[in-house]
Amino acid sequence: MAAQDFIRVTASCLRANFISYRAWSKKFKWLVPDHFFEGAEKLLSIWFTTEEGKGEEHGDLKKIPRGKWDELVRGVDAEILSEIEDEDVRAFILSESSLFVFENRIIVKTCGTTRCLKALEYSITLAAKMCGLTRLQDVFYSRRNFLQPKAQVDMHSSFSDEVGYLDKFVEGGAPYVMGKVNIDCWFFYTKVQRSSTGVSIGQPDQRFELIMSDLDPQAMKQFYYSSNQTGHAATLSSGISKLIPGARIDSHMFQPCGYSCNAIIPGGFYFTIHITPETDFSFASFETNHPDGNHAGFMEKVLNIFKPGHLIVTKLANQLSKTNVMSDFRLENYDLQDLQITKYPCYDVHYSSYDVRSLADHC
Ligand SMILES: C[S@@+](CC[C@H](N)C(=O)[O-])C[C@H]1O[C@@H](n2cnc3c(N)ncnc32)[C@H](O)[C@@H]1O
């Protein structure tokens, strides 16, 4: 059996037998690679608003000069590599994932050992000072469990440290964990105290995420610089360019490997993809707020690009969204491992995880 297949099958067997990668790698240190990159992202999404009773008059976060966003990103230990924009959003590719800036919302997504939550304090000050957006309307923070949690720093050393940090800035927030806490899970923090009207943000909102691991080494070859020297070439060869018609895609190819892209779609929609193709710890994420993201057929198009051995699906939708995230769905060739559907005051949240059928059969 080739080394790459061995690692994929081992990972699959570990999950099937409820053994965590962390416990396994501690015992079998000699099998753990020296080079490691934590692909799993920390994802922070903040909606800002004005003081209650002050009306809708406020500045536009998108108009804040680039220098301030450079500063925010440096604060989380990353840097901006490129930027695209349309009338609804500015989308930045970072050395470790992405930043999206809307009129009254920012999304910060960072991987590796970055300190994503640093962006919370900085953006609160920035939004208040430069746009009169003095209140946090909604806050979402989420991430998958890390493969190497001990490598994380400061407030990201554990989920309870992250919660402690978030609590300093977010009034009425609460933490949740979905999935198998000892194997593969998803940590989630959000505001749960609402205004008397119930609906927090006055517009439809939804978000879909595919968090994929144990990716097919053959499919990952195209995300190595030796196969594609530009992000654009990899966007075309992988089929990412065809995922959502009308999307304008900005992409970056890292050396010797790794790929990131941000896409903006008319109507205030985006998608973002980040890929760590190294077989020993391969990871990819797909995230969008486009309603198509809710359909199993669309998800299968994404899965066909990466062919993951394992994946987590998360979906969020507020009361004004036309997308129903509460229903169950089937993915061709994948076996459902966990499913949790929860109602929060303003959002419905879906979490499910899957193993590829053929790999699970090895165990
Ligand atoms: C594309 S980035 C983004 C990772 C993303 N969060 C994901 O989904 O895996 C990570 C990949 O790029 C590679 N890489 C190469 N140079 C890098 C750099 N300067 N900073 C971050 N990643 C780099 C890493 O080894 C890894 O394969």
In the chain, domain spans:
3-361
Other Cβ atoms closer than 10 A to 266: 11
**What per-residue confidence (pLDDT) applies to 138?**
93
**What per-residue confidence (pLDDT) applies to 18?**
55
Alpha-carbon Rg for the chain in angstroms? 20
**What per-residue confidence (pLDDT) applies to 282?**
98
CA 87 vs CA 49, 62, 78: distances in Å:
19, 9, 26
Quick one: angle between helices 159-169 and 118-131, nearest 10? 20
Distance 135 CA to ligand 1 centre (A): 34
> Which atom of ligand 1 lies at the shortest distance from residue 277's CA?
27
Distance 260 CA to ligand 1 centre (A): 8
**What per-residue confidence (pLDDT) applies to 1?**
45
CATH 3.30.720.200 is held by the domain 3-361: no
> Which atom of ligand 1 lies at the shortest distance from residue 109's CA?
6
**What per-residue confidence (pLDDT) applies to 51?**
82
User: Is 37 touching ligand 1 by the criterion CB < 6 Å?
Assistant: yes
**What per-residue confidence (pLDDT) applies to 203?**
86
In the residue annotation, 274 being an active-site residue is answered as yes
**What per-residue confidence (pLDDT) applies to 3?**
47
| Segment-wise mean pLDDT, segments of 10 residues, the chain, 363 residues | 50 55 50 82 96 76 98 98 98 98 98 98 98 95 97 97 98 96 95 64 91 98 98 98 97 98 98 98 98 94 98 95 87 95 90 84 52
Distance 96 CA to ligand 1 centre (A): 6
The residue count for the chain? 363
Q: What is the separation, in whole angstroms, between the first and last Cα of the chain?
A: 15
Is residue 27 left, alpha or beta, with left meaning phi > 0 and alpha meaning psi from -120 to 50? Answer: alpha
**What per-residue confidence (pLDDT) applies to 22?**
46
- Say if CB 303 and CB 137 are below 8 A apart: no
